[in-house]
Amino acid sequence: MQEHRATRLHWDFRLEAAGTMPSWAVTRGPTLVPLEKRLAMHVEDHPLDYQTFEGVIPEGNYGAGEVIVWDNGTWELVEGDDPVAEIAKGKLKFVLHGKKLKGLFTLVKIKPREGEHGEPWLLFKDRDEFSDPTWKIEDHAESVKSGKTLADLQRSRKDAPIWKSNRSAAPDGTAVKRAARRAVATDPIPRDAKPMLTTLVDAPFDDPRWLFELKWDGYRGIAVVEADRVTLTSRNGKDLLHQFPEMKALAGAFRSIPVVVDGELCVLDEQGRPDFQLLQSRDKPDARGQKQRRKPSPVVYVVFDLLYADGRDVRERPLDDRKRLLEELIVPDRGVLYSKHVLEHGKELFHHAVQRGLEGIVGKQRASPYRSARSREWVKIKAKQRQEFVIGGWTEPRGSRKEFGSLLVGYYEGDVLHYAGHVGSGYDGELLSSLMKKLDPLARKTSPFADMPKPNTPAHFVRPELVCEVAFAEWTRENILRQPVFVGLRIDKDAKSVVRERPQHADPDA
């Protein structure tokens, strides 16, 4: 069996019979999960000498792309004694003795769907001692011949063996035509794409036209991943690689490059939950003002959308398609996680988020294109009251507290900064000191707020440039935060973009 990235990623399953190799293209790859069906398109027979090939098929040839020998071994027929005859009947029952695939399998021909071309079959694992309900193909990415993955092969493509089939993909030369189109019509990489933003709504809902994901608590960033260059840019255009240099290795996390992906930089706690305060610890100085020398918390890049892949700008394609392509591209255990989703059942996922103490969920229309703007096609439902605020000043400390007593925060309406309250909890001594170092250079004499009442303790004001995230119980009738708690600074957001979040009615048809 060969893993093969051509027009799309698939696994070529080949069985030696009668001096040739009958072949099937398995779109999602094989599995040892019992009775889990995988579509396998019957394709033309291949020569015996092709079974050991690992390398590159050049454009213009049949199956152009990268190939590795994903598994090999021997096989034996279980029902019947002539494999060619059994294939003609439309069913094969057989045992594999491979390095990865072992035991009893079935291949059965099925009726094509209306408008479907080709000859579809289903491949599945029968129940036996080799069945494994926990088996995942991403845990078995390496070639049994070389130990390389497809991503490894792509990075060393120029040195890889070449296979030329001496024919195009079809009698009409469609592969040659496709290669020619690619040569002249590769889409430009959207290096300056802005993120698609969510609209806050007031309640979870169920709808089959929508998918739902957990809301990841981290720094939003769009990554442009090329063979010799990686950029990772925040919502407000800042370079996130400076703070997270390990993300420079993103080229090894995708099976095909260049790609442009959207996701969230997170630190996960011991239960696998995103922890924004652990993420903040990456930026804390020590007592001497230097970055801490202790090993930083490991950061993962949780990706949830695909903007560009295989030379194509895919932003206009439906979200369902983009997420399917994205999941196929990710190489496991390389610092990138795929943001899984559920279809239709937003209420159940929201209940799960509440039970686990997570921030909330995001709902997305499955047919939505990727728009670099805020949209009702993506919505967020919060399990906790939390949002960003602009820091406009601080009050003097009382008692034994050092540095400052509370932060004075607000939000914008147009060009007007409105006061939202003072945030006096959520700090430790180290955090108070590090925040003060950021506030001092921004000092100003007058209040930046349009409507701040006189504080109970002396106040000092700063230019409204820093953004923080605050958790709180509710808004009072006077539009002041009740029981606010400091969560962390937001380096990924501009102060002018911070507004008061007012949830809209949750309407799947809006």
Asked whether the beta carbons of 325 and 303 are under 8 A apart, the reply is: no
Closest CA to 374 of 357, 392, 362: 362
Q: In the numeric block, which tokens belong to residue 297?
A: 């918390």
Taking residue 172's Cβ as centre, other Cβ atoms within 10 Å add up to 9
- Identify which of 17-21, 221-225, 279-283, 325-329 has the greatest average pLDDT: 221-225
Q: What is the pLDDT of residue 159?
A: 67
Q: What are phi and psi of 349, to 5 degrees?
A: -65, -40
Is pLDDT of 436 > 70? Answer: yes
Task: In whole angstroms, give the CA distance from residue 223 to residue 247.
Answer: 9
Asked whether the beta carbons of 407 and 468 are under 8 A apart, the reply is: yes
Residue found by looking up tokens 């040739």 in the block: 20
Work out the mean pLDDT of the chain and round it to a whole number: 88
The string of DSSP letters for 30-99 reads ---SBT--EEEEEEEEE-GGGGG--EEEPTTSTT-EEEEE---EEEEESS-S-HHHHHHHTEEEEEEEES
pLDDT, tens digit, for every residue of 4-54?
Answer: 877 677 899 999 998 999 999 998 899 999 989 999 999 888 888 888 889
- Identify which of 300-309, 313-322, 449-458 has the greatest average pLDDT: 300-309
Q: In the numeric block, which tokens belong to residue 38?
A: 């995988």
Asked whether the beta carbons of 365 and 305 are under 8 A apart, the reply is: no
pLDDT, tens digit, for every residue of 97-142?
Answer: 999 999 999 999 998 877 667 889 999 999 999 999 999 888 898 9
Task: In whole angstroms, give the CA distance from residue 443 to residue 465.
Answer: 11
Is pLDDT of 177 > 60? Answer: no
Closest CA to 220 of 302, 298, 331, 313: 302
**pTM for the full predicted model:** 0.61
Task: Please state the domain extents for the chain.
Answer: 2-184, 197-382, 386-497
Is pLDDT of 285 > 50? Answer: no
Minimum mean pLDDT range among 130-139, 166-175, 350-359:
166-175
Q: What is the pLDDT of residue 296?
A: 66
Q: What is the pLDDT of residue 401?
A: 87
Return the CATH fold of 386-497.
Answer: OB fold (Dihydrolipoamide Acetyltransferase, E2P) (2.40.50)
Q: What is the pLDDT of residue 153?
A: 77
Q: What is the pLDDT of residue 127?
A: 96
Is pLDDT of 270 > 90? Answer: no
User: For the residues 146-166, what does the mean pLDDT come to?
Assistant: 71
Is pLDDT of 328 > 90? Answer: no
The percentage of residues in the chain with a pLDDT greater than 90, rounded to a whole number, is 67
> Which residues, in sequence order, are CB contacts of 487 under 8 Å at separation 6+?
276, 277, 386, 426, 468, 469, 470, 471
Q: What is the pLDDT of residue 277?
A: 84
pLDDT category, 64, cuts 50, 70, 90?
Answer: confident
Minimum mean pLDDT range among 68-72, 75-79, 82-86, 174-178:
174-178
CATH superfamily entry for domain 197-382: DNA ligase/mRNA capping enzyme (3.30.470.30)
Which positions are catalytic?
A: 215
Is pLDDT of 184 > 90? Answer: no
